[in-house]
Amino acid sequence: MKVLKFGGTSVGKPERMHSIANLIKGNDKKLIVLSAVSGTTNALVAISEALSANDSEKGMKLIDELFKPYFNFVDQLFSTTEAKKNGQKIIDIHYEFVKSFLNKSFGEKETKIILAEGELISTALFQEYLLEIGYKSVLLPALDFMKIDEDNEPVLTHIEDKLNPIIAKHTDAQYFITQGFIARNSNGEIDNLKRGGSDYTASLVGAAIRAEEVQIWTDIDGMHNNDPRIVKNTFPIAALTFDEAAELAYFGAKILHPSTILPAKKYAIPVRLLNTMQPEAKGTVIADQTSDRDIKAIAAKDNLIAIKIKSTRMLLAYGFLRRVFEVFEKYKTPIDMITTSEVAVSVTIDDDKNLINILEELKSFCTVEVDKNQTIVCIVGDFLEDKPGLVKKIFDALKAIPIRMISYGGSKNNVSVLINTQHKNDALNALNEGVF
Ligand code: ASP
Ligand code: MG
Check: CB of residue 215 under 8 Å from CB of residue 203: no
Strands (E), 7-101: 30-34
**DSSP classification of residue 275:** E
Which element (helix H / strand E) includes 409? none
Ligand 1 neighbour 181 (Cβ under 6 A): yes
Instruction: Give the distance (Å) from ligand 2 centre to CA of residue 272.
Output: 14
Which protein residues have a CB closer than 5 Å to ligand 2 (ion)? Answer: 7, 196
Instruction: Give the pLDDT score at 388.
Output: 78
Q: Name the residue with the closest Cα to ligand 1, atom 4.
A: 41
Ligand 1 neighbour 35 (Cβ under 6 A): yes
How do strand 271-275 and strand 284-287 relate by DSSP bridges? antiparallel
Q: In what order do the strands lie in the sheet with 2-6?
A: 137-140, 175-179, 30-34, 2-6, 213-218, 271-275, 284-287, 239-241
Q: Which residues contact 325 (CB under 8 A, 6 or more apart)?
A: 335
DSSP letter for each residue of 113-156: HHHTHHHHHHHHHHHHHHHHTT--EEEE-GGGT-BB-TTS-B-H
What is the value of pTM for the model shown? 0.89
Instruction: Report how far apart, in Å, the C-alpha atoms of 326 and of each of 62, 359, 405 are.
Output: 44, 13, 22
Give the CATH number of the domain where residue 214 resides: 3.40.1160.10
Instruction: Assign 76 to helix, strand or coil.
Output: helix
Q: Is residue 15 part of a domain?
A: yes
In this structure, the answer to whether residues 12 and 117 fall within a common structural domain is yes
Instruction: Give the pLDDT score at 250.
Output: 86
Ligand 1 neighbour 201 (Cβ under 6 A): no
Mean pLDDT by 10 residues, the chain (436 residues): 97 97 95 98 98 96 98 97 97 98 96 98 98 97 98 97 97 96 98 96 98 95 91 93 91 83 96 94 91 86 96 72 94 93 91 96 94 96 79 94 93 92 97 92
Identify which of 10, 33, 34, 35 to mutate to test ligand 1's pocket (most ligand atoms within 8 A of the CB). 35
Q: Is residue 292 part of a domain?
A: no
Last residue within a domain, chosen from 157, 187, 218? 218
Give the distance, in angstroms, between the CA of residue 428 and the centroid of all CA atoms in the same chain.
Answer: 22
Angle at the Cα of 238 (from 39 to 418), degrees rounded to 5?
A: 70
Domain count, the chain: 2
Domain limits at 405?
297-435
In this structure, the answer to whether residues 35 and 181 fall within a common structural domain is yes
Instruction: Give the distance (Å) from ligand 1 centre to CA of residue 8.
Output: 7
Give the CATH number of the domain where residue 389 resides: 3.30.2130.10
Instruction: Give the pLDDT score at 304.
Output: 96
Last residue within a domain, chosen from 218, 233, 252? 218
In this structure, the answer to whether residues 324 and 176 fall within a common structural domain is no
Instruction: Give the pLDDT score at 289.
Output: 82
Ligand 1 neighbour 198 (Cβ under 6 A): yes
Last residue within a domain, chosen from 218, 249, 275? 218
